[in-house]
């Protein structure tokens, strides 16, 4: 059974979030980033299924700028088998993320898809 897990790169939960001086968003320059904690739980559960012999392959997918590969590397270090990065410099809206994820699911044909319950950002 192939398991696909969606992961997101977010500001680390230990960092105090600062608003940009022009009030257009959150300051992300020189801020520690990490995998969304709820997505990390989803990756851990997929890896548990693999270790139990229920799953044969764990594939993680992330969308965003090139720096998102750090999040995929974290999942690979945890025990995932493969990672897919959909690289874009555009700010992805939820509908775009859903459509991209739908296309990946159709292409990869996983038996199960794990998602974190929400993003902390």
Residue 82's beta-bridge partner residues?
59
For residue 63, the model assigns a pLDDT of: 94
What three-state secondary structure class fits 6? strand
For residue 70, the model assigns a pLDDT of: 93
Q: How confident is the model at residue 28 (pLDDT cuts 50, 70, 90)?
A: confident
Task: For the chain, list the domains and their CATH numbers.
Answer: 2-114 (3.40.50.620)
The answer to whether the beta carbons of residues 2 and 59 sit under 8 Å apart is yes
Q: How confident is the model at residue 21 (pLDDT cuts 50, 70, 90)?
A: confident
Helix, strand, coil shares, percent, the chain, to 5:
35, 25, 40
Of 42, 18, 53, the residue nearest 32 (C-alpha): 18
CA distance 22 to 20: 5
Q: Specify the DSSP element, H or E, that contains 39.
A: helix 37-51
Global pTM value: 0.87
Q: Specify the DSSP element, H or E, that contains 35.
A: strand 33-35
Q: Is 121 a residue whose pLDDT tops 80?
A: no
């Amino acid at each position: 059974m192939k398991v696909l897990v969606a992961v997101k790169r977010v500001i680390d939960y230990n960092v105090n979030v600062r608003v940009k001086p022009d009030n257009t968003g959150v300051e992300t320059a020189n801020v520690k980033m990490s995998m969304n904690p709820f997505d990390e739980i989803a990756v851990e559960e997929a890896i548990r299924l693999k270790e139990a012999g229920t799953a044969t392959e764990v594939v993680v997918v992330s969308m965003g700028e090139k720096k998102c590969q750090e999040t995929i590397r974290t999942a690979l270090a945890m025990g995932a088998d493969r990672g897919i990065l959909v690289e874009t410099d555009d700010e992805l809206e939820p509908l775009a993320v859903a459509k991209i994820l739908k296309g990946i699911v159709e292409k990869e044909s996983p038996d199960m898809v794990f998602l974190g319950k929400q993003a902390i950002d």
